[in-house]
Amino acid sequence: MTVVVTYEDRAEAFVGVELLARSLLRHDPGLRLEVQSPSDALAARLEGLDHVTVVPTPDLAGRHWNVKPAVIGRALDRHERVLWLDTDVILCGPLSPVLARHSPGTLVVGSEYPDPEGIAGRIRTRGFGLHDLRRLPHSVNSGSILADRSHCEVIKAWTRLLERDDYRAAQRRPAAQRPMAMVGDQDALWAALLAHEGPLRAVDYFLPGREMLLHEGASRFSVAHRIAVLRGARPAFVHMLGSYKPWDFATAPDPRADLSRYLHFVSFELSPYAAAARPLASAIGDPAWLRRRSWMARGLDAMAFGNVALGGAPLALLASGLSAAARLRRRLRR
C-alpha cells in the first residue's frame, strides 16, 4: 500500500499540512499520511485525524525542501512505496486511481513543462559536472514524488548532490543569483535522475492538466490545462507553486500599493486550490483567505457560473498573451 508522506517545520505553513490531511480524508479516506516534523505544535494540530501519523524528526529542522530525500528515505524504511507531496498540495479528487496507473518500480515525479530535446536537463547535469545517461522528456518538479524501495540508490544520489559544497554555497545566495542547475532541490533531483548509473527501471510523470494541476498566478493553470479539464480530465491534486502561498493573503492586498501581489491574490481566489480548500474551511477555523473577497474574482466567478476552469480563464488568456508578446520582443531584438 502506498503511504503519502510530507514534512513541515514552518509554523505559518502548518495549515497547509492540515488541508492536505483533510483533503485526503475527503477524497481518498483509505490512504494514510505520514507527517515528519520536529514540531509538537503541528502534532497537536493533527490530533484526531486517525489516518495521520506524526513522526518526530528534530534532526531535520531548518533544512527546508532539501529535507525531501531524507524524509522519503526514512519513510521507505517503514513502507514499501511512498508518495511525497509538498505542503502546498491539496487533493481535489481520488488519488488511488492515479497511483494505480503507475506500476511498481516506476519512479514518478511532477513536471512543469516539456523538455523534448533534453536541453534544460543537460543544464542541470552539466551544472553538477555530470553526464547524461538517459533523456527525460519533461522537466522535474519535486513537489510530488512516487518512489519505492527499488529507488533507494537514486534517492541517495540525490542526497549526495544536495550535500555538495557548491550546492550549499549556491543556497546561501538569493534565488535569482543561483546557477540554474542549483536553484533548488528539484534541479538536483533532475540531475540525479539523468546521471544515475545504477538500475532505474522507468521514470514517469504526474503531468499537469491530466493527473494534477499547477497554480501560480494566472499562468500555471494554463489555457490548455483549463480546456483539458473542461473536456473531462479529472486531476487528483493541485500544487500551489511560487513564493505566494494561500495563507499569505490573510489581509487582502491593496492594488494601488502592490499590483503584482493583488493580481496573485485575485488569481488565488479563482484557483483550483481555493476551490478544493473551501469545503474544508470550517474545519480549519474559516480563515479569511478562503473567502472570495475581491470584486474581480467575484465577478469572474459569477460569469463562469462557478466553474473553476472558466473563472480564471480571462486572466490566463491575458497572461498567455503578455508572455507571447514578451517572447516576440526578444526575438525582434536579436
Q: What is the pLDDT of residues 229-281, one digit of tens each?
A: 999 999 999 999 988 899 999 999 999 999 889 999 999 999 999 999 999 99
Over residues 134-159, mean pLDDT? 96
The architecture that CATH gives domain 2-206 is: Alpha-Beta Complex (3.90)
Which of the four pLDDT bands, split at 50, 70 and 90, describes residue 328?
Answer: low
Q: pLDDT tens digits, residue range 150-206? A: 999 999 999 999 999 999 999 999 999 999 999 999 999 999 999 998 778 789 999
Enumerate residues 6+ apart whose C-beta is below 8 A from 134: 193, 194, 200, 203
Q: CA-to-CA distance for 84 and 206, rounded, in angstroms?
A: 12
**Please, which pLDDT band fits residue 125 given cuts at 50, 70 and 90?**
very high
Handedness of CA 214, 157, 14, 9 (dihedral sign): negative
pLDDT confidence of residue 77 = 97
In tens, the pLDDT along 3-31 reads 999 999 999 999 999 999 999 999 999 99
User: Are the beta carbons of 31 and 45 closer than 8 angstroms?
Assistant: no
Distance CA 119, CA 126 (A): 11
What confidence category does residue 319 fall into, taking pLDDT thresholds of 50, 70 and 90? Answer: confident
Residue spans of the domains in the chain: they are: 2-206, 212-333
pLDDT at residue 332, as a whole number = 73
pLDDT of residue 251: 93
Among left, alpha and beta (phi > 0; psi -120 to 50; other), residue 134 is beta
Contact 45, 87 (CB under 8 A): no
> HSE-up of 284 (CA within 13 Å, CB side)?
23
What secondary structure does DSSP assign to 132-150, as a single string? -SS--SB--EEEEEEEEGG
pLDDT score, position 324: 67
Q: Report yes or no: 247 and 277 within 8 Å, Cβ to Cβ.
A: no
Q: Report pLDDT for 284.
A: 97
> Alpha helices of the chain — where are they, by DSSP H?
14-27, 40-45, 68-78, 96-100, 119-127, 152-162, 165-171, 185-195, 223-230, 259-269, 272-277, 295-303, 308-311, 313-333
Average pLDDT, integer, range 123-133: 96
The whole-chain average pLDDT of the chain stands at 94
CB 225 within 8 A of CB 208: yes
The pLDDT tens digits of the residues spanning 58-115 come to 999 988 889 999 999 999 999 999 999 999 999 999 999 999 999 999 999 999 999 9
Q: Give the gyration radius of the chain's Cα atoms.
A: 20
Give the three cell numbers for residue 93. Answer: 479528487
Pairwise pLDDT comparison (316 vs 75), residue with the higher score: 75
pLDDT of res. 334:
65
